Homo-oligomer: A and B are copies of this chain.
Amino acid sequence: MPLSPTTPDLTALDLFVSVVELGSVSKAAAAHQIAQPSASSRVRYLEKQLGISLLERSPSGSVPTAAGSLVAGWAEATIRSAHELNAGVDALKARRAGRLRVVASLTIAEYLLPSWLEKFLRNRPDDSIKLEVANSSVVLERLSAHDADLGFIESPVPTPNMGSKVIGVDRLIAVVSPVHPWTRRKSVAVEELSSTPLVVRERGSGTREALELELSRLGFEAPNSALELGSTSAVRSAVVSGTSPTVISERAVSADLAAGSLVEIAIDGLRVDRELRAVWPKTRPLPQLADELLKAAPAT
């Protein structure tokens, strides 16, 4: 559903957060390189738009009201997310300039990389990263051909001439919308899952392959598809507003689980974990920037 028409502007929220942090409208104006009256009117407009008084103004500065502190906290979360988006966009944009060329699989690029990039680029304004997104085999090709310095994939590394490091785990979990009958059950058996039509990604996608592989290892058939969609987020929203379950990366739906718009269903005896790995060609030493980026990516 679209955002409410009274949604505040990101830059206004950012300015307001600065006011709260710095203690005065003037200082915030300076930090954002705008004139003080502009900042003043911007914040007033924000208050009018939200219908809430956010600041206690005084000749010695401005402090947030109780509501203002709360709004500032929420705004900070939104702004952080916007920063990550910016970092991701920067990496995508760096068509040729990139001093460090990273090639990552979709899950990692989408859910993990932005925050690493944001942190990484924050203190190194002169460096840039070129980000490319591809499936696992292409990632390995690019590395072999020295078209990329550092790769990220979701599967074990079959080639011996690649260095690698596990940087996290991607667990696939079964989820349904909160009105689904399974939400009233303690758990569901694997065979019941495998005989239930699911919302799935297209054949060949890493998520789907991993699930089907694990099911066949347990001796079950691949489930029928209730609906077949081309992206993780399409699957997500289909399940939120539909009646079929799906099996999906935990990271992709963590926000939905927290918000309650999706519910995790325990599947007895099924556990699909994929290791997330950084990989690089052993043939030459890891560039220093790559090494530093890896340090920004804690092994969760």
Contacts beyond the supplied A1-B122, A71-B92, A73-B233: 6 A-B pairs with Cβ under 8 Å:
A3-B83, A3-B86, A13-B85, A76-B233, A81-B81, A84-B259
Q: Kindly supply a per-residue 1/0 record for chain A positions 56-86, scoring 1 wherever the CB is within 8 Å of any chain B CB and 0 otherwise.
A: 0000000000110111111111111111111
Task: Name 5 interchain pairs, CB-CB below 8 A, sorted by A.
Answer: A8-B85, A73-B233, A78-B78, A80-B259, A260-B298
If A109-B70, A115-B260, A133-B66 touch, does A85 touch B89 (CB 8 Å cutoff)? Answer: no
Q: How far is the CA of A231 from the CA of B64 in the complex (A)?
A: 11
If A74-B88, A75-B85 touch, does A11 touch B3 (CB 8 Å cutoff)? Answer: yes
Give me the 4 closest cross-chain CB pairs, A-B, nearest first: A115-B259, A78-B81, A74-B85, A73-B110
If A7-B10, A18-B2, A70-B88 touch, does A50 touch B93 (CB 8 Å cutoff)? Answer: yes
Cβ-neighbour of A11 out of B7, B13, B118 (below 8 A)? B7
Q: How far is the CA of A66 from the CA of B131 in the complex (A)?
A: 12
- CB neighbours of A133 from chain B (8 A): 66-67, 70
CB of A41 within 8 Å of the partner chain: no
Instruction: Work out how many copies of this chain go into the complex.
Output: 2
CB of A27 within 8 Å of the partner chain: no
A71 and B85 contacting across the interface, CB-CB below 8 Å: yes
Q: Which of A66, A70, A84, A111 counts the most B-chain CB atoms under 10 A from its CB?
A: A70
CB of A288 within 8 Å of the partner chain: no
| Tally of A interface residues using CB under 8 Å | 73
Q: Kindly supply a per-residue 1/0 record for chain A positions 1-43, scoring 1 wherever the CB is within 8 Å of any chain B CB and 0 otherwise.
A: 1111011111101110010010000000001110000000000
- CB neighbours of A75 from chain B (8 A): 85
Q: Is the interface of A mostly helix, strand, loop or mixed?
A: helix
Q: Kindly supply a per-residue 1/0 record for chain A positions 266-300, scoring 1 wherever the CB is within 8 Å of any chain B CB and 0 otherwise.
A: 00000000000000000000000000000111101
- CB neighbours of A73 from chain B (8 A): 110-111, 232-233
Q: Which residues of A contact B (CB under 8 A)?
A: 1-4, 6-11, 13-15, 18, 21, 31-33, 50-52, 66-67, 69-86, 88-89, 92-93, 106, 109-111, 114-116, 118-119, 122, 133, 231-234, 237, 255, 257-261, 263, 295-298, 300
A2 and chain B: residue at smallest CB distance: B32
